[in-house]
Every structure is written in C-alpha cells, then in structure tokens.
Structure 1
C-alpha cells in the first residue's frame, strides 16, 4: 500500500497515467480518503469466485478492488457502470500459477459524465491466463474510458492475456478512450489487445425499420447485441440479465 495517497492533478509534474482521463473535479468532491479505500480479496488455490456489480448514482463513485489469485484459481468480475456522475471501477489483479482472471464491463450513459474502468493485471507466475472485454456506449458529451495495463513477470512463461475494447457513440459529442499498456519480461507469452470506436450500423437500422421496428426498438436491440459481448463468459443467466437490463435502462427516454 502507498504510504499516503494524494489526489491526482492535471499538473504535468504530477500526471499519473492511470488518471489520464479522470474527472479531477469529481475526485476532489470524493476526497483523498476515497483513494485509500481498497477492497482486498484473496482467492485460495483452486477456488473459483464470481462477482457481479451495477455501479453508479447521482454522486461520484470510486470502487477499488485488489485481487490475489492462488494457484489454479479463477476470479470473474462483471460490471455495469451507468453513473449519472463520475464513476470509476479500478481493479488490480495478481495471478498465481495457472490462475485465470475474467473481466467483463460496460460503461453506458449520457450527460457530460465520465465513466471508466481501470485495470492492472500482473501475471506473476507461469501458465496463468486473463481475458478482459469492455464495451462502451455513450451519447451527449459523455465519455467512456478503459485503461488496461498488463504486466508479465520474467518467470511467467506461457502467459495468455487478452483485452478487447469497443466503443459505440450514439451522438457526435460523445467520446471513448482506450489505453492498453503491456510490460512483458517473459519471452514465451501471448498478449493481445484490440480497440475500436464507431457508430450504430445504419444498414442494420434500416433493415429493422423495414420490418416494422420503431427507431427506439431497433436501437435497443443493436445496443443489446453490442454490449452483450462483455457478459458472454457469465454463465449465471439471472445475473447476466440483471447487468444487461441495468445498462439498457439508461437508453429509455434518454436517446
């Protein structure tokens, strides 16, 4: 743990990459004590643990989670981030031998709000795997961010790590940012990342309209298909439905 946390600033001399796109004014409202509030979770050898979250309200939120995975363990984290104020979910993961980390996240909403995921995944031992899938849907002047750092230690041979980010902008004023960072010291690894940002498929919307769907219905179906990728690995159908419904509720009456 750091000796003392300080609030990030925009000053060039005090720019932490992990806070590059953060809402600094919202962080000031949260206060420096929020930066010390980490949820520490240790997962025993061979154990599997899953956690699903819907985060966001009309006030700033900062969720910080540290996971330590034992040998052969598996951690799954799935999140819908739909705050009406700055909402950040930050995850630090350290993987033991043969462990797996699965992350699926959606940021969605409008207004002038920033919603973000920040992950740091440390492959500390051999044969561990990780997969992160993030989808971002925004309108008005909202911003969706994903900053994902992967570190592979020198002895962490046979690492297999992947990140996939896709942003969908429903209006011209919205934005999405993806910042993948790789630091690899082992030589027998697979590390991949991809990032794309675009708009709704107009041909698909026209096809749906020609078959009697309203513009709102067509948009909802297309967005549902887009964000569903983030929760493909979530086997619990009830929880998957809860996360999807929470995301799609943001569309109702907003765009």
Structure 2
C-alpha cells in the first residue's frame, strides 16, 4: 500500500540521476500501480507509451511502470516517448521465457529544468531468449535525459542474445545526458552487448544543409528526426510510428 512506500533517493541505483525532489510531491499511490503486459506463448503484443504535454508545458511528475511477462516463443514490443513533466519516467520490468523476445525503443526529449528518463530491467530466465533496446535522448536548456538499463541472464538461460544501444544528443550547453548499462550474467553461452555515446549535432551536416539554402531550424529538425528514428525502426505500423514522431518533433518545434 502507498502508506508503506519509502521514497527513493539518489542512493538508489535506479534513481542515481533522477529528480528525487520532484517525487516528494507526487501521489504515492503511483508507486503501487503497475501496468501488466502478459504475452501468451507464441503471440505478439505491442504497446506504445507516451508521456506528453496536453497543452502548456507541465511541471508535474509523471511515472509509468510496466511489468512485462513474455511466455515461451512470445514477442513484446514497447515503444516509449517521454517529453513532459518536471520529472517524466517510464519503468519497464520484463521477464522472458524460452525463445521469447523483447523489443524496446524509446526517446526522451526536453529542455528547461526537467528530467526525462527510461529505466529498464530485463530478466532472461530461460534459454534462447532475445532482447533489443534502442534509446535516444535529445535535450537542451537544463534538461536531463537518463537511461538506466539492466540485463539479468539466469544460469540456465543459455543462447541468450541481448543488446542495448543508447545515444544522447545535447543541443545546448547546460543540458545533460546519462546512461547506466548493467549486465549480470550467470550463463556462459550468451551474446550480450551494449553501447552508449553522447554528442552534439554534426556541424558538417549543418554546414552542408546551410550551403544548400536550408534555414538553421529546418536543418536541426531534420538532423534530430534522423537521430531519433533509430528508436522506432522495429515499429512496422506506419501510423504509430508517425504519431510517436509527431510527439518528439512537436516538442522540438516549440523549442525552435
């Protein structure tokens, strides 16, 4: 129950870079609430999770927690955009069966003095499971984007193939991006990989576009669009992909 909730601090690994002050004012009942996503054996389930402004920029705290169970041979696809709130946070805890797959694509974006983050923990509990996580972060002002991703491979989960890819883009000095990949592996016949990079817009590409008459704001928009598109490559529904991209670019357009 919410009465028993102990508020997180930055001493907690999963909240290392978060805005824990923003949590103090939120409804503690949110910590008790999980959205359960159960994928039957051999089936595919897709969810799109969006934290976005309804109108004016919001200074509330938005927390979404998903508990995913993928049965043997099942596939779960999660696509996430976090673009609102003083603190916007999506947590995913996933447990995978034999031959199950988790696909996670996510984007955090924003400026001002805000924190947007995606936190995942994927447990490969049986053999032959696969997971792929692709997260992109775009921030400016004093905005912070975080990705904390943990992969656990149990001793019997041989032939696991798990990957994480994180890239951060800082549009203005003062913004920050953090990535904390973690691997806990107790099996010896596995493939687990992660990569993380943080940088700024490609100045050569911006110069190339300017030389061909594109205004700076248009060039920046195109470059950001190409940057975040990786997170939605596995989303084969064109309408959903366009909807998520509109949320991302809409936040960027308000900054431009």
Q: How does the TM-score come out when normalised to structure 2? A: 0.95
- The list of structure 1 runs, each at least 4 consecutive aligned residues, that deviate by more than 2 angstroms after superposition, is 1-5
Match of 2:156 in 1: 155
Q: Distance in 1 between matches of 2:4 and 2:78?
A: 28
**Aligned-CA RMSD value:** 1.5
Q: Using the TM superposition, give the Cα deviation of residue 26 of structure 1 relative to its aligned residue in structure 2, in angstroms.
A: 1.2
What SS is found at the alignment partner of 1:196? strand
Deviations 1:10-47 (A, max 9, x none): 4xxxx210111111111111143211111122111011
Partner of 2:45: 49
How many residue pairs match? The answer is 251
In structure 1, the residue matched to 2:35 is 39
Q: Secondary structure at the match of 1:101?
A: strand
Deviation at 1:231, TM superposition (A): 0.3
Mapped contact 1:81–1:87 kept (Cα < 8 A): yes
State the Cα deviation string for residues 144-201 of structure 1 (Å, max 9, x = none).
Answer: 0000000000000000000000000000100000000100000000000000000000
Q: Map Cα deviations across residues 77-118 of structure 1 (whole Å, 9 max, x no partner).
A: 001110142100000000000000000000011101000000
The alpha carbon displacement at 1:229 in A equals 0.4
Unaligned runs of 5+ in 1: none
Using the alignment, how far apart are the partners of 1:196 and 1:78 within structure 2?
Answer: 21
Equivalent in the alignment of 2:238: 237
In 1, are the aligned partners of 2:52 and 2:247 still within 8 Å (CA)?
Answer: no
> 1:193 maps to what in 2?
194
- Counterpart pick for 1:23 among 19, 24, 36: 19
State the TM-score, normalized to the length of structure 1. 0.95
